[in-house]
Amino acid sequence: MRLIESSITTPKIAELFSDRSILEAMLAFEVGLARAEAGLEVIPLPAARAIEKAASPKLFEENTLAADSLRSATVSIPFVKALTEQVKQIDPTAAGFVHWGATSQDVADTAIILVLQKSRDILEADLTRVDRALSQLSERHAGTVMLGRTLLQAALPTTFGLKVAGWLGAIRRNHARLDAAFEESVILQFGGAAGTLASLGDQGVAVGKALAAELGVGYADAPWHTHRDRLAALMCALGVMAGSLGKMARDISLLSQNEIAEAAEPTAEGRGGSSAMPHKQNPVGCTLALSAAYRVPGLVSTFLSSMVQEHERAIGGWQSEWATISAIVQATSLAATSMAEVAEGLTINAARMRENIDASHGTIFAERATILLAKNLSREAARKIVEQAVKESAGSNRDFVTVLGEMPEVRKVLDPPTLNDLRVPENYLGAAEEFRRTLLNSSAAHERTRDHAERKH
């Protein structure tokens, strides 16, 4: 991982998109193709064995392949040439069967599909961590009352458990979309020169299916050289996931502000410090997730722009995708890893949440007071009384309910116990707990569905 990439990826996902990993994926395609064709007697079995023997990554120079790709507009061409030379040293006759019936885009597309297949496992592991941590956090704070905030201002009371369930619900919905997009996208690309596999005669489909089985990927209904909709849907799903992780990071970073102090990221040696201010504890996990969430939408847009490709094989479209796909997957994976760490170690200050409610001097209960008064007065009269009480409370720094209770028109319709009850935030949570449970149960239902699908697979 390079210094310039140090805050936009993780070592694990960066290695997956490394030169060696891409080379291994391209070699896997060629070996799988040779095996499939030998099994169907399209090429001699000794040729397939020679190709497999020559397909050792250590025999190839990634820097040379990269440099040569600038003269061919794709790494596949110098790669196939280099592989052919390696096979020739083992069996000159077998060299003539390298890449038999395939085209350069078949290698490139299938290689990135194989890498995406592996990236799915990494994303899955981190998203599962986020899921588990948020579920436990929501349950633990089901009754932890806090300020709801709208337009960054104090609104009505809510629960931290519901806020967490909201994060979880979005991430789980996106997880379902991501699962579906991966299932559609992890498919073989094998169409030959113009998408007809004409060079393989009546064996084209059989070879394609055998190759897909060799590589452990799906088989498409037809080659998709210029139809990038499946990959586009996957990139969009990754973009939405990055956005949802970013929303969670935004909320937590705001709750972590010193003036709010309701939440704090986990601490560790070297984590969150400042180069100039020793007192600071920066929310680094949220920072990395937000950085990813900022970058990904533009990258998704770039991929969508490359979908308009010409005829059966395109110029410039698919050639641009590797870097874009790599950046989107790595950024989203970084966001998932970062928020998994945050969720697992998040510290919640329930006392501070209560203090921030109290700091409103009861004005957050103005809506409830209006509703109670409107049962005996007109709605307009009730609103004017409450507005007056709010204004006086703010001006005198006195408790809103106390000010309200001193007003003669209020005392006529609301008794002291009812007024005192106004101060209890737990009594004005509406359906918060029902919504929280529904979100968690919906997530659990998805979990069971996905587990069943994985076991079946």
User: Which string of DSSP letters, residue by residue, matches 137-163?
Assistant: HHHHTTT-EEEEEETTEEEEEEEHHHH
Residue 271 inside a domain? The answer is yes
Quick one: 26 and 162 in the same domain? no
Quick one: 181 and 267 in the same domain? yes
Residue 165 inside a domain? The answer is yes
Output the pLDDT for position 276: 53
Quick one: 94 and 110 in the same domain? no
Residue 290 inside a domain? The answer is yes
Nearest to 182, CA basis, from 140, 108, 119, 125: 119
Read off the DSSP letter of residue 114: H
Angle, CA of 165, 356 and 255, to the nearest 5°: 50
Residue 430 inside a domain? The answer is no
d(C-alpha 218, C-alpha 117), whole Å: 11
Q: Which domain holds residue 205?
A: 1-102+200-214
State the residue for tokens 């990554």.
Answer: 57
Residue 219 inside a domain? The answer is no
d(C-alpha 167, C-alpha 226), whole Å: 37
In 186-283, which ranges are continuous DSSP H helix? 204-215, 229-255
Quick one: 325 and 396 in the same domain? no
Quick one: 301 and 249 in the same domain? yes
Residue 192 inside a domain? The answer is no
Nearest to 169, CA basis, from 442, 419, 379, 429: 442
d(C-alpha 138, C-alpha 162), whole Å: 7
Q: Which residue in the list 120, 228, 313, 436 is annotated as catalytic?
A: 313
* CATH label of the domain that carries residue 231: 1.20.200.10
- Annotated active-site residue 6? The verdict is no
**Using an 8 Å Cβ cutoff, are 74 and 104 in contact?**
yes
166: helix, strand or coil: helix
pTM for the full model? 0.91
Output the pLDDT for position 283: 86
Structure tokens at 262: 């309701």
**Using an 8 Å Cβ cutoff, are 223 and 200 in contact?**
no
In 306-365, which ranges are continuous DSSP H helix? 321-345, 350-358
Output the pLDDT for position 5: 77
410: helix, strand or coil: helix
Output the pLDDT for position 273: 54
Quick one: 156 and 257 in the same domain? yes
Phi, psi torsion values for 382, nearest 5 degrees: -60, -40
* CATH label of the domain that carries residue 25: 1.10.275.10
Quick one: 210 and 125 in the same domain? no
Q: Which residue in the list 274, 305, 378, 396 is annotated as catalytic?
A: 274
Nearest to 332, CA basis, from 100, 171, 107, 145: 171
Residue 428 inside a domain? The answer is no
Q: What is the pLDDT along the chain (457 residues), one digit of tens a residue?
A: 777 777 888 899 999 999 999 999 999 999 999 999 999 999 999 999 999 999 999 999 999 999 999 999 899 999 999 999 999 999 999 999 999 999 999 999 999 999 999 999 999 999 999 999 999 999 999 999 999 999 999 999 999 999 999 999 999 999 999 999 999 999 999 999 999 999 999 999 999 999 999 999 999 999 999 999 999 999 999 999 999 999 999 999 999 999 999 999 987 665 555 455 555 578 899 999 999 999 999 999 999 999 999 999 999 988 999 999 999 999 999 999 999 999 999 999 999 999 999 999 999 999 999 999 999 899 999 999 999 999 999 999 999 999 999 999 999 999 999 999 999 999 999 999 999 999 999 855 455 445 544 544 4
339: Cβ contacts below 8 Å, ≥ 6 apart? 130, 245, 248, 249, 285, 286, 289
**Cα–Cα separations (whole angstroms), residue 423 to 7, 356, 362, 396:** 46, 14, 7, 18
Residue 193 inside a domain? The answer is no
- Annotated active-site residue 132? The verdict is no
Quick one: 342 and 207 in the same domain? no
Quick one: 417 and 453 in the same domain? no
187: helix, strand or coil: strand
Quick one: 17 and 69 in the same domain? yes
Greatest pairwise CA separation for the chain in angstroms: 104
Q: How many domains, in total, are found in the chain? A: 3
* Distance in angstroms between the alpha carbons of the first and the last residue of the chain: 34
d(C-alpha 353, C-alpha 330), whole Å: 35
d(C-alpha 115, C-alpha 12), whole Å: 12
β-bridge partners, 187:
218
Quick one: 47 and 10 in the same domain? yes
Instruction: Specify the amino acid at residue 452.
Output: H
Quick one: 55 and 112 in the same domain? no
d(C-alpha 220, C-alpha 375), whole Å: 65
